[in-house]
Amino acid sequence: MRFMFVGDSQTIGRAGDYTWRYRMWQHLNASFGGPYRIVGPRTELYDPTADAAVSHAYADPDFPAKARKHLAGWGEGWLHMAPLIRETVAATKADVLLVSLGLIDLGFYTDADQTSENVRSFFDQARAANPHLRAVVLPVIPNIRAENEPSFAADCARFNELLAKTVADLDQPASPLLLASPPEAYDLHTDTYDGTHPSEPGEHKLAAAFATAMHQAWDLGAPYTPTP
């Protein structure tokens, strides 16, 4: 089974991060119980000194190159990934997408309704490449900006309502979609390092959200247990 991480800056991570992708790789190694691969066209982290995704400085240098693969980008959202996903799924033969997108869309590019339309386009294109594709989608976790801008907080809440309806509407027996539950007790002051991007405990909570959804709905893997 081939897994692909799709996301924005919270997923790609920056130089020096472990990333929640790393935590998920550890979880799959410990619990999947069968052959699997992590696929994707990219392996880099974002380097703030270069303002580009050019770093390979993961916090654990032993994180193997084959497990670093992803389709994530700093400043990229549903708007950017929808045009890429068909060719990427076709090239990687991805079976399961683990998707964390939307915050950057709402913050800079599209409102809740427009972002929801891009979600539909994304899955239309992904299924054109693999009609039996599975996906787990994480709702938007509002960042520190939402604490200071009620209108942005409201847009995040509206998008999450639309996302739940969209996932339910697009779910198919041959191509199931899951909406993961937001991480419990996610604290922006301790689970992020800047009010947006996950710190070590936040990485574990994001990985756990995906792992729990897959285990409960599809019996893939096991309950999430953090690996030190």
Max intra-chain CA distance, the chain: 46
Cα–Cα distances in angstroms (integers) from residue 60 to residues 8, 19, 36, in the given order = 21, 10, 21
pTM for the full predicted model: 0.97
- Segment 139-162 shows an average pLDDT of 96
Task: For the chain, give the number of residues.
Answer: 228
Cα–Cα distances in angstroms (integers) from residue 98 to residues 49, 79, 129, in the given order = 28, 17, 16
Tokens 């539909």 found at: 120
Residues 6+ apart with CB under 8 A from 152: 106, 107, 142, 145, 146
**Is CATH 3.40.50.1110 the right assignment for the domain spanning 2-218?**
yes
Segment 74-122, tens digit of pLDDT: 999 999 999 999 999 999 999 999 999 999 999 999 999 999 999 999 9
For the chain, which residues make up each domain, given as ranges? 2-218
Measure the CA–CA gap between 97 and 126, rounded to whole angstroms: 9
Segment 182-216, tens digit of pLDDT: 998 999 999 999 999 999 999 999 999 999 999 99
